[in-house]
Structure 1
Amino acid sequence: MNLVNLESVSQAFGPKPLLSGVSLGIEQGDRIGVVGLNGGGKSTLVSIITGELKPDSGRVTHNRGLRVGGLSQRDDLDPAAAVRDLVLADRAEHEWAGDPAIREILANLLGDIDLSAKAAALSGGERRRTALARLLIGEHDLILLDEPTNHLDIEAIAWLAGHLSQRRSALLVVTHDRWFLDAVATRTWEVVDGGVERYEGGYAAYVLAKAERARIAQAAEDRRQNLMRKEIAWLRRGPPARTSKPKFRINAAEALIADVPPARESVELLKFASARLGKTVYDLEDVTLHAGGPDAGPLVLDHCTWQFGPGDRVGLIGVNGSGKSSVLRLLSGMVAPDSGRVVEGKTVRLAHLSQELVELDPRRRVLETVEEVRKYVTVGKKEWSASQLLEILGFKGEAQWKVVGDLSGGERRRLQLLRLIMDEPNVLLLDEPTNDLDIETLTELEDLLDAWPGTLVVVSHDRYFLERVADRCVALLGDGRLSMLPGGVDEYLERRASGAALSARAASAGTATAPAQAPAAAQVAVDAGLSAKELRELQKELNRLERQLDKLGEREAKVHAEMATAASDFERLGKLDAELREIGAQKDSVELEWMELAERLDSTSS
């Protein structure tokens, strides 16, 4: 059944037409992802579809009785209203408390928010989650979401993708989060040059189809086409952490990437990074760190020992508030550890992109602001001018002569990142670098970072970007440690789910009413059909596996250090690489055994 039709719709703001003669439709069951440049008309298209904006010309028709729900980039929450009233409206408590679907939405989006709190007291992220929960609790035939993943952490984004995939509503979503697009969309619309190009499949299929169209038409934009092919090459050959690649036109993809080199020449970059950085970058030695200073705020690191070596490309993962930004501030020297020490290499030249925008002279022009840092910079083997890099990051032509005071927040963030790169650092700490960047700019940034040979530590809620630029992932799981994740984000989500299940079991065991003569653990064992001794043996085995994982992690770190030392000895590097793969295989085996045992323990409480 057809839900919405647009016929010859045009819309312009000032002299620039955003939509010109667009005709399209949304049918029942459609799951559409919308992509395009910032300012290209994506939000305008959504506003026209919802009826909030009347087009300059053309016609928009809705199916009679159509129930439309929308989430814009700005919420309309009444600041004096309580969260409960905003989200649940006039539903009686027994009505929503007895509905498992509503309870799931509240638990995953508002679990840490007091439902009696006023909207005026909420942070920007909490307001966003409140508006999203209010929308999802309602019944709709068509849901339109404009950047729904803003302010959500990786775990919440994964839940939202699963939730939307199970709903019967038609869906149209505007987002720069490419992983999210692949997870929820079965069709992709690209808003470009006043029109809407349509593709079957999610982001991965869109990338391939667009590359094929460009190849057939022999498009003149060689650089954009090469980037597209490189993106496809990564999708097919990507890092080991990417355990499930999109299933789309494998033969066509192989033909396109047959002559495409790997995204990064890892050995060559490691050699170059070692030459520039030496053996030591950052060594954390028995470090304890609280987010708010000594013994204040949440505990982030507890007697943690870790090494960041030359050429390491690390993605740092954790829930919001776990201390990711605190770890970056620790490495940058902005905060000191409560105890222990951080050893910084003598040759480290640091650039730290924080979430706060630095103050720039609003009277200066964009190009002048970059050239005052440096006019030319070498990335990998290529020399770039300030103007060339500005073009790569979206400041094309006359945009380089805009006054800084006229830039949007996203443009200022791109400018800040470029100034950092122009200072020729050999260590990059990036805290949410993808905020306010469109997909084309993200792709250009990823390509630039591919050739950058230094040490990279990146915090990002953009799963696609994280897996694209990082070679390994490390997590803050709330236990005071930095935990290696050979399985990347998928493993992180599995560990979080397993940890939540174990916590629930422990809570259940702690609140159970046991006979006076038996300890709580023994009571749980009896309830599960296990003896207290069997339960203790299972827990003992779980602890043994965790110690074994710690030892394998230490061996892995040692091999990484030896690889940095032997950067010029390719025969030695080959042996070390084989040893690293063997350690990885052992860790996979032990982690699988740990997961099976944890699930068995968890099942004893059900």
Structure 2
Amino acid sequence: MALITLSNAHLAFGHVPLLNGTDLTLDMGERTGLIGRNGAGKSSLLKILAGLEKPDDGVMQIQTGIRREYVPQEPHLRPGATIFETISEGVAEAKAIRERYEAHADGEDLDALQTRLEALDGWNWEQRVDETIHRLDLNPDTVVDTLSGGLRKRVALGRALVATPDVLLLDEPTNHLDLNAIDWLAGLLNNFRGALLLITHDRAFLDAVTTRIVELDRGQLRSYPGNFAAFEAAKQRELEAEALQNARADKLLAQEEVWIRKGVEARRTRSVARIGRLEKLRETRAARRDVIGGVRLDVDTGGASGKIVARLEDVNKAYGDKQVVRNFSSTVLRGDKIGLIGPNGAGKTTLLKLILGELAPDSGSVLQGSKIQVAYFDQMREALNMEATLADTISPGSEWIEIGNQRKHVMSYLGDFLFAPARANSPVKSLSGGERNRLLLARLFARPANVMVLDEPTNDLDIETLEMLEELLQDYDGTVFLVSHDRRFVDNVVTSTLVAEGNGQWREYEGGIADWQAQAARTAQVRAQAARSSAPAPTPPAPVAAPVAAQPVAEKRKLSFKEQRELGELPARIDAIEKEMAQLAAMLAGTELYSQGAKRIAEVTQRHAALDEELLEAMERWEALSTRG
């Protein structure tokens, strides 16, 4: 059932159409991810759906009585209020009705109040607020005026979540959240019963939450059923088909242009229909929406650093009573790409400063390598002067920049990061959040560095730019320190992770976040088994009768006839399961399945998951019988 329907919407800023006759419906129970390039108009579309802005043209129909909650990138919070008071604003109606019900005001219909209170789940609003504050790791008594931008975003998110709206509109909800908070948010949104539309660059979060992806591309909306992985597969096929169709059209146009320019004899015999087709081909070619250029990233690594970047031995660091680094030892080599993982406030920045020699340890030793040139990407964008122009930010006082052995004009270099030449003299403050991050990347890569420190570089960047940044960092010859809660980005870039395990303890794991979680789970399992095996056996109660003679240890039981037959059939069964799984995997990777509707996609996905479990059970059964056979 459609809660909001947007029809034939138009919206433009200057000569750039952000919405060009677009249609969109938000259905009950549907979780939609809105993706597109920075500046494509995603946030503007969200504001229109929230009722905060109006399109230039078009119609929006909203079901009567629905509640909408919108969390922008830069939320507005009431000055002077505490975090508890601010988040409680999300349940203001439930709070007011319960107060009226408990006061037994004269003339009030208590049955009607109770019905409305139950509909709003208002009897336990304090518990909902407390749980949300705890999950977002906030202090309820803190005044919101003192909070950083990231914490203000968390408070606004909490205010929307406790309201249990019919339509929830979220603009980059995972920014500044740590991994535990992101997992909690994904679980909450998966249980959300209304319509959800969210903008996020976090591909793992999209995979975990969404049931549909909507792409905003040059004023048009395209809808794809399934999560982000399904969208990627369908989009790849679509782009290949579009490229082939465009190539054929261009070839035919070229042939017709040659024909129309032939001599007098040919012009006497040309047909009116053929001329009409040529004119139509010209119009189609002119109107075609070619894929616009992408960000072109390059980086100057400068001179190579020494083989050892840093060596730390038994390093300790504390702030007052809080130990943030305890007995930490590690060696960082040239070319390492290290991710720092931990909750906000765990000490990731402190550990980085210790490694880079910017902070002295309380005890222990830190040896710095030679010829180190460090470049920083700051998530708070403090390195940007809001009043400076884009050109001065990249190359102050010069129209040229040197990147390695290349010399580029600043206009051309800004164009590599999708900034038009006309914007080169615009102030930084005129840019959106994603554009400021792009500018910071451009500034970062314009300076020679063999050690790169990236603090939340993925915030506000579009997915295409993220993928290109991943490729650049994978090919980068220098050393990378990456602080990010974007699982996919970390897994695609780092070679090892430093993980905060509480009480100042840091442990190094090979690989990214997924590898760390798998290794940590195996370690916990081994420790649990060791604890069980080392636990003393309980003392038996005193016997009340004559003791029974000890029984001999049972010999290994041979396979029964039925088990022997099962063992013989298992290889064929395993082979059949693997073949069916391969067929389903091919369907999920293709495009035909995604034209058969959401129900069919769900059937194939569920069958593939069931076969995976079935295969695991069959393999375990085969192994168990084989050891006895």
TM-score (norm 2): 0.64
* Aligned 8 A contact 1:153 1:320 in 2: yes
**Partner of 1:276: helix, strand, or coil?**
coil
1:34-56: CA deviations, max 9, x gaps?
01122221111112222222222
The aligned length equals: 453
Counterparts of 2:17 and 2:492 in 1: how far apart (Å)? 34
Shift of 1:137: 1.7
- Correspondence for 1:49: 49
- Correspondence for 1:216: 241
- Correspondence for 1:375: 401
Counterparts of 2:393 and 2:506 in 1: how far apart (Å)? 37
- Correspondence for 1:312: 336
Please say which of residues 310-319 and 148-157 is displaced more in the overlay. 148-157
Closer, same or farther in 2 for the Cα pair 1:411/1:26, shift >3 Å?
closer
Counterparts of 1:333 and 1:221 in 2: how far apart (Å)? 55
Counterparts of 2:233 and 2:520 in 1: how far apart (Å)? 33
Which amino acid counterpart does residue 375 of structure 1 have in structure 2? I
Task: Tell me if 1:158 matches 2:183.
Answer: yes
Counterparts of 1:277 and 1:125 in 2: how far apart (Å)? 35
Match of 1:172 among 174, 197, 206: 197
* Aligned 8 A contact 1:392 1:441 in 2: no
Closer, same or farther in 2 for the Cα pair 1:494/1:63, shift >3 Å?
farther
* Aligned 8 A contact 2:434 2:462 in 1: no
* Aligned 8 A contact 2:316 2:361 in 1: yes
- Correspondence for 1:352: 376
Counterparts of 2:487 and 2:410 in 1: how far apart (Å)? 29
Shift of 1:324: 0.7
Task: Tell me if 1:460 matches 2:484.
Answer: yes
Closer, same or farther in 2 for the Cα pair 1:118/1:276, shift >3 Å?
closer
Task: Tell me if 1:96 matches 2:124.
Answer: yes
1:241-275: CA deviations, max 9, x gaps?
xxxxxxxxxxxxxxxxxxxxxxxxxxxxxxxx999
Closer, same or farther in 2 for the Cα pair 1:212/1:490, shift >3 Å?
same
* Aligned 8 A contact 2:36 2:463 in 1: yes
Closer, same or farther in 2 for the Cα pair 1:358/1:371, shift >3 Å?
same
Closer, same or farther in 2 for the Cα pair 1:59/1:153, shift >3 Å?
same
Task: Tell me if 1:183 matches 2:211.
Answer: no
* Aligned 8 A contact 1:70 1:144 in 2: yes
* Aligned 8 A contact 1:96 1:103 in 2: no
Which amino acid counterpart does residue 60 of structure 2 have in structure 1? V
1:315-346: CA deviations, max 9, x gaps?
11000000111122223333222222221111
Match of 1:105 among 132, 140, 161: 132
1:31-83: CA deviations, max 9, x gaps?
10001122221111112222222222111001223232222223343223343
**Partner of 2:238: helix, strand, or coil?**
helix
- Correspondence for 1:18: 18
User: Any unmatched runs of 5+ in structure 1?
Assistant: 223-272, 501-524, 536-606
Task: Tell me if 1:287 matches 2:310.
Answer: no
TM-score (norm 1): 0.66
* Aligned 8 A contact 1:36 1:190 in 2: yes
1:474-511: CA deviations, max 9, x gaps?
211223232123474346668999999xxxxxxxxxxx
Which amino acid counterpart does residue 493 of structure 2 have in structure 1? V
- Correspondence for 1:8: 8
Counterparts of 1:81 and 1:363 in 2: how far apart (Å)? 32
* Aligned 8 A contact 1:315 1:470 in 2: yes
Shift of 1:209: 2.1
Counterparts of 2:426 and 2:78 in 1: how far apart (Å)? 37
Shift of 1:386: 6.0
Counterparts of 2:476 and 2:74 in 1: how far apart (Å)? 36
Shift of 1:370: 2.9
Shift of 1:530: 12
- Correspondence for 1:58: 58
Shift of 1:303: 2.1
User: Any unmatched runs of 5+ in structure 2?
Assistant: 100-121, 248-300, 525-530, 539-629
Aligned positions of 1:116-515 closer than 5 A: 116-218=141-243, 276-290=304-318, 292=319, 296=320, 298-359=322-383, 365-367=389-391, 369-371=393-395, 375-378=401-404, 390-404=414-428, 406-408=430-432, 410-486=434-510, 488-490=512-514
* Aligned 8 A contact 1:352 1:428 in 2: yes
Counterparts of 1:144 and 1:402 in 2: how far apart (Å)? 31
Q: Larger radius of gyration, structure 1 or 2?
A: 2
Closer, same or farther in 2 for the Cα pair 1:143/1:413, shift >3 Å?
closer
Which amino acid counterpart does residue 134 of structure 2 have in structure 1? A
Closer, same or farther in 2 for the Cα pair 1:102/1:408, shift >3 Å?
closer
Counterparts of 1:395 and 1:335 in 2: how far apart (Å)? 37
Closer, same or farther in 2 for the Cα pair 1:367/1:445, shift >3 Å?
farther
Which amino acid counterpart does residue 65 of structure 2 have in structure 1? G
* Aligned 8 A contact 2:510 2:516 in 1: no
* Aligned 8 A contact 2:490 2:512 in 1: no
Identity across the alignment (%) = 38
1:69-126: CA deviations, max 9, x gaps?
2222233432233433333346479942796x665434312x4412x44433444333
1:451-494: CA deviations, max 9, x gaps?
21111110012222212211222211223232123474346668
1:375-434: CA deviations, max 9, x gaps?
33249xx99886665444333444445454644554444333333322221111111122
Which amino acid counterpart does residue 312 of structure 2 have in structure 1? L
Aligned positions of 1:78-93 closer than 5 A: 78-88=78-88, 89=92, 91=95
* Aligned 8 A contact 1:17 1:194 in 2: yes
Shift of 1:208: 2.5
Counterparts of 1:496 and 1:62 in 2: how far apart (Å)? 48
* Aligned 8 A contact 1:362 1:404 in 2: yes
1:137-161: CA deviations, max 9, x gaps?
2232221111111221122111101
Shift of 1:297: 6.5
**Partner of 1:8: helix, strand, or coil?**
strand
Which amino acid counterpart does residue 417 of structure 1 have in structure 2? L
Which amino acid counterpart does residue 178 of structure 2 have in structure 1? D
* Aligned 8 A contact 1:393 1:414 in 2: yes
* Aligned 8 A contact 1:463 1:489 in 2: yes
* Aligned 8 A contact 1:378 1:384 in 2: no
Counterparts of 1:439 and 1:202 in 2: how far apart (Å)? 14
